[in-house]
Amino acid sequence: MSHQMDARPPDWPLRLLRFFVKEEYLEEIEGDMEEIFLTNVEQLSLAKARRIYTWDMLKLLRPTLIKHFKTIPTFNQFAMYKNYFKIAWRNLVKKKAYSFINIFGLGLGIACCILIFMFVQDELSYDNYHTKRERIFRVIHGESVPGKPTEAGSGPFWVWGNAPIGPALKSDFPEIEKVVQFSGRSDILLTYGEKVYQEDGVFFMDSAAFDVFSWKLLKGNPKTALAAPYNIVLTESTAKKYFGDEDPIGKVLKGSESPGRSNRGDYTVTGIVADIPSNSHFRFNALLSLSTFRNSLPEIFGEWGYVDFYTYFLVGEQFDEAAFKKKIPDFLSRHKAWPDSRYFIEIEPLKDVYLRTKAERQPGETGSLPNIYVFSVIGLFILVIAMINFMNLSTARSMERGKEVGIRKSVGAYRSSLVSQFLGESVMIVLLSGLIAAILVMIALPNMSALTGKELNIERFITWQTISLFVALMLVVGLAAGSYPALVLSGFNPIMIMKGMVRSSAGGINLRRALVVFQFTLSIALIAGTIIVYFQMNHVLDKDLGFDKEQMLVLDYNYDEEVNKKSEVLKDILENNPSVLSVGFSRSVPGSYYPHAGTELETPKGDMEMMGQPIFQVGMDFVSHFNLKLIAGRNYSREHPTDSSQAIIINEAAARQYGYSNPAEAVGKKFAQWGRSGVVIGVVKDFNFASLHRNIEPLTMPLVPYACRYMSLKVKTDNIQETIKAVGEVWKEIAPHRPFLYSFLDDDFNKQYQSDVMFKRLFTTFSGLAIFIACLGLLGLATYTAEQRTKEIGIRKVLGADVRNIVGLLSKDFILLVIISIFIATPLSWYAMHRWLEGFAYRMEISPWIFVLAGFIALSVAVFTISYQAIKSAVMNPVKSLRSE
């Protein structure tokens, strides 16, 4: 008996049957199936009976037994969707202005978002081409700040460091598989036949480079290409420059010599590497074998205090970064690196090198993670503003289709079919906008590449991931924008609709108002940000740097000994030209490369203390030539022959570094630097020899005329081209073996702000587009409001209202919304831009007038946009608007 009670058929086949089968057959079928099931239980088994029962139930789902569902239409599905498409298309054509604003505005917003996405993706893709990138790290070198403990993170960092660190790491840490070291950039004069070029972007590179980095070697053996002394590997474009279509392998390039490195000699081409991708933090034109450098100066490869190398390494698959870092202090202690110093090291993964590094002295360019965030937010803002326009116009225009909805519901349309119709129309419009966006992206891409200085190629970004993301974005935008009108319209009572008793609900009106406030809040924040970015960049580019950089012509001769020997002759000849005001020589000029030096200087206590600082090795007239202000002591003088070996000039920051609050007190104090010793003879006023992103550092300027690289000429503004031509002729006569390479100092110095200028251009461009898109939406809403109140306007005009009254009537609501937006946007934009300005050591103050101006601009644009439609409605003949009454 208990067995019979437990013998029950499964539930879900019975529920399925009850759902699909006509009710007149259910009772008979259920009874028969239960009898068959019980019989099978007795004759077979419970499990087998349940399987037979399930299968028999599924076989009963035949067309003659299935009931008719009201939700499943009996008419042709294709015809229904064809009808939906026709209605959607007619609505678009009927209201051309709204259709244009909707489709073009959203398309422009999507296009801006795609362009910003391409830029951001390019920035995030740096060094991704290295197949072993997850296992590549590099050493960064640090020095703790005096008075603070010697520990990681307590002081400044440099990527540029010493050579012994590499072999020491390899010997002490078995988890390191390969170490690659290369020298700082070594510009070199290369000659092949009649072709002579001062080649920049040249490095002395370790032979293990091709085992670590994924540089594609087109010709040559990666194991031996950089093994022997005087081997050279060229990039494909560099090889073509020298050899054309000839096979470069085995050819010989003649190299000149740079100071401290024996570059002079014949270099055999042993490899050709494909041009380095643009999204690489480290790029080069040629690689010299590191063994060449080692042969000429073997002693520096064992000196922990000699700085001229970058150290990268490859680790094993099971590398534990945290455990490795804990071993570093013992490692440094064991090797007694820089005894009694504050020296320490950290490691940095390759994936963080471009955007997240905290180290200076990079081997290549770096990006800005905050800028990536800013542009991502702007892209999101633009897309949101465009979506708000679309939603506002969709919800506003949806009320005009009330009668259509009423008729459909009266003839039996279900709410679900109406929802799907309106959502489908919304998605269709968004897909049209997506097509417009794709066309706009293709048109704008060359300009975007020019703005960013990047090779933004559309083919690089067309992947199945990006296509899937784009389609998903279109669907999300379409469904989000169409959801409100679809749900509201489909819920109307058909009787009330047909009687004309349906109006925009308070909820719909408030939603549109809230969306207008939100989009103008974003727009005003962008306007304020644009003003701040503009004035900050002007502040940077126009700031008095403390030296003359205008009309300063700079010639780069790369430390050429013959030129340095003839420097006085060159100076005399060129200064005889009335267009040349003065000539100076130096190893560095403001904004260019400069080394660091360890300098011992006598403190107020009488001790000799070692400190590190930048160093400008200069010629005799550097101070006066650049118009530096001498605030204590004297300048270098030809009347003091010992100045070249026993004197030094420092800046105010260096005097403070050694404890002198009064610069005059540092004059006469003893110093020792790089084998030279003597006394401080002068102190110059601090000047910005580096980027304004940084505070002025301590600086020493020893007189070393034989180590100079640059000749700078202060020239008159008249006939610049004639002056350059005359200087070039003198150069060919005095130094015919070197190319005539010149530039202007202000241009070179401002190259430090290339990324800031690019940021300014992008920020301004996309902020302007965001404001334009917001105004498109405002124009659409104003036009709709005016149309809805056409009869009211006609009646008011008949009763005596003038144009001013009508314009005020139509404008006041929108202007109030913009004013509310101003109060919301001001604190938000102040906070965001305050954070951005923190990246500059010298920054403008954010004044209240900026937000007043931003608000005034937004209000003016809104008033102008609304007034166009308001005036158009106000001057309309009232007879036309009242004709139907």
Burial 435-448 (b: 16+ CB within 10 A, else e): ebbbebbeebbeeb
Asked which of 400-414, 427-441, 541-555, 792-806 is least confident by mean pLDDT, the reply is 400-414
Mean pLDDT, to the nearest integer, of 583-606? 89
The pair of three-digit structure tokens given for residue 27, joined into one six-digit string: 């009772």
Crossing angle for the helix pair 46-59 and 23-43, to the nearest 10 degrees: 150
Q: Do 475 and 519 belong together in one domain? A: no
Q: What pLDDT was estimated at residue 71?
A: 47
d(CA 575, CA 743) in angstroms, rounded, equals 18
Q: Do 567 and 606 belong together in one domain? A: yes
Residue 728 — left, alpha, or beta (φ > 0 → left; ψ -120 to 50 → alpha)?
alpha
Residue 373 placed within a domain: yes
Q: Do 567 and 469 belong together in one domain? A: no
Q: Do 210 and 343 belong together in one domain? A: yes
Q: What is the mean pLDDT of the chain?
A: 82
The pair of three-digit structure tokens given for residue 619, joined into one six-digit string: 């010629």
Q: What pLDDT was estimated at residue 241?
A: 93
Q: Are 687 and 546 in contact (CB under 8 A)?
A: yes
Asked which of 460-469, 525-534, 719-728, 744-753 is least confident by mean pLDDT, the reply is 460-469
Boundary-marking domain end, from 709, 740, 771:
740
Share of the chain above pLDDT 90, in %: 30
Residue 429 placed within a domain: yes
pLDDT, one tens digit per residue, over 330-367 is: 898 888 766 556 788 899 999 999 998 888 888 888 88
Residue 295 pLDDT class (50, 70, 90 cuts): confident
- Per-residue pLDDT for 278 more than 90? no
Residue (of 275, 221, 272, 230) closest to 249 by Cα position: 272
State the DSSP string of 525-574: HHHHHHHHHHHHHHHHHHS--SS--TTEEEEE-TT-HHHHHTHHHHHHHH
Residue 417 placed within a domain: yes
Boundary-marking domain end, from 310, 325, 352:
352
d(CA 764, CA 749) in angstroms, rounded, equals 23
Q: Do 147 and 283 belong together in one domain? A: yes
- Per-residue pLDDT for 738 more than 60? yes
Mean pLDDT, to the nearest integer, of 232-248? 94
Q: Are 604 and 659 in contact (CB under 8 A)?
A: yes
Domain count for the chain, please give it: 5
What one-character DSSP code corresponds to residue 752? G
Q: Are 210 and 217 in contact (CB under 8 A)?
A: yes
3-state SS class at 48: helix
Q: Are 391 and 105 in contact (CB under 8 A)?
A: no
Q: Do 468 and 611 belong together in one domain? A: no
- Per-residue pLDDT for 670 more than 60? yes
Residue (of 380, 388, 385) closest to 524 by Cα position: 385
Residue 347 placed within a domain: yes
Residue 724 pLDDT class (50, 70, 90 cuts): very high
Q: Are 551 and 715 in contact (CB under 8 A)?
A: yes
How far the first Cα of the chain sits from its last, in Å, is 84
Q: Are 101 and 777 in contact (CB under 8 A)?
A: yes
Residue 205 placed within a domain: yes
Residue 529 placed within a domain: yes
Residue 316 — left, alpha, or beta (φ > 0 → left; ψ -120 to 50 → alpha)?
beta
Q: Do 96 and 29 belong together in one domain? A: no
**Could you give the maximum distance between any two Cα atoms of the chain, in Å?**
127
Residue 361 placed within a domain: no
- From residue 48, give the alpha-carbon distance in Å to each of 14, 52, 54, 58, 211: 17, 6, 10, 16, 65
In whole angstroms, how large is the CA radius of gyration of the chain?
38
Q: Do 214 and 318 belong together in one domain? A: yes
What one-character DSSP code corresponds to residue 274? P
Asked which of 41-50, 57-66, 486-495, 566-575 is least confident by mean pLDDT, the reply is 486-495
Give the range of the structural domain holding residue 582, as residue numbers without chain letter.
Answer: 558-740
d(CA 784, CA 790) in angstroms, rounded, equals 10
d(CA 871, CA 807) in angstroms, rounded, equals 6
- Per-residue pLDDT for 225 more than 50? yes
Q: What pLDDT was estimated at residue 101?
A: 76
Residue appearing with tokens 């002490």 = 172
Q: Are 777 and 105 in contact (CB under 8 A)?
A: yes
- Per-residue pLDDT for 236 more than 80? yes
Boundary-marking domain end, from 29, 59, 89:
59
Q: Do 562 and 647 belong together in one domain? A: yes
Q: Do 486 and 510 belong together in one domain? A: no
pTM greater than the 0.85 cutoff: no
Q: What pLDDT was estimated at residue 409?
A: 66
d(CA 566, CA 557) in angstroms, rounded, equals 12
Q: Do 310 and 198 belong together in one domain? A: yes
3-state SS class at 240: helix
Q: Alpha helices, DSSP H only, in 173-260?
A: 209-212, 236-243
Residue 150 pLDDT class (50, 70, 90 cuts): very low
Q: What pLDDT was estimated at residue 459?
A: 74
d(CA 65, CA 738) in angstroms, rounded, equals 98
Residue 674 — left, alpha, or beta (φ > 0 → left; ψ -120 to 50 → alpha)?
left
Instruction: Return the higher-pLDDT residue of 32 and 77.
Output: 32
Residue 224 pLDDT class (50, 70, 90 cuts): very high
- Per-residue pLDDT for 169 more than 70? yes
- Per-residue pLDDT for 117 more than 80? yes
d(CA 572, CA 373) in angstroms, rounded, equals 54
Torsion on CA atoms 31, 33, 36, 41, rounded to nearest 10: -110
Asked which of 219-223, 244-248, 418-422 is least confident by mean pLDDT, the reply is 418-422
Strand runs (DSSP E) across 548-691, as ranges? 552-556, 580-586, 596-602, 608-614, 630-633, 647-651, 670-673, 676-684
Residue 16 placed within a domain: yes
Instruction: Return the higher-pLDDT residue of 227 and 479.
Output: 227
Asked which of 68-77, 304-313, 434-443, 536-545 is least confident by mean pLDDT, the reply is 68-77
Q: Do 619 and 567 belong together in one domain? A: yes
Q: Is 296 exposed, middle or buried (0-12, 13-18, 19+ CB in 10 A)?
A: middle
Strand runs (DSSP E) across 154-258, as ranges? 157-158, 176-183, 188-192, 195-199, 202-205, 217-219, 231-235, 252-255
Label each residue of 60-108 as H, E or C. CCCCCCECCCCCCCCCCHHHHHHHHHHHHHHHHHHCHHHHHHHHHHHHH
For residue 564, give every residue at least 6 positions away whose Cβ sits within 8 Å of its Cβ, in sequence order, or none: 585, 705, 706, 707, 708
Q: Are 669 and 679 in contact (CB under 8 A)?
A: yes
For residue 824, give every residue at least 6 positions away whose Cβ sits within 8 Å of its Cβ, in sequence order, or none: 517, 521
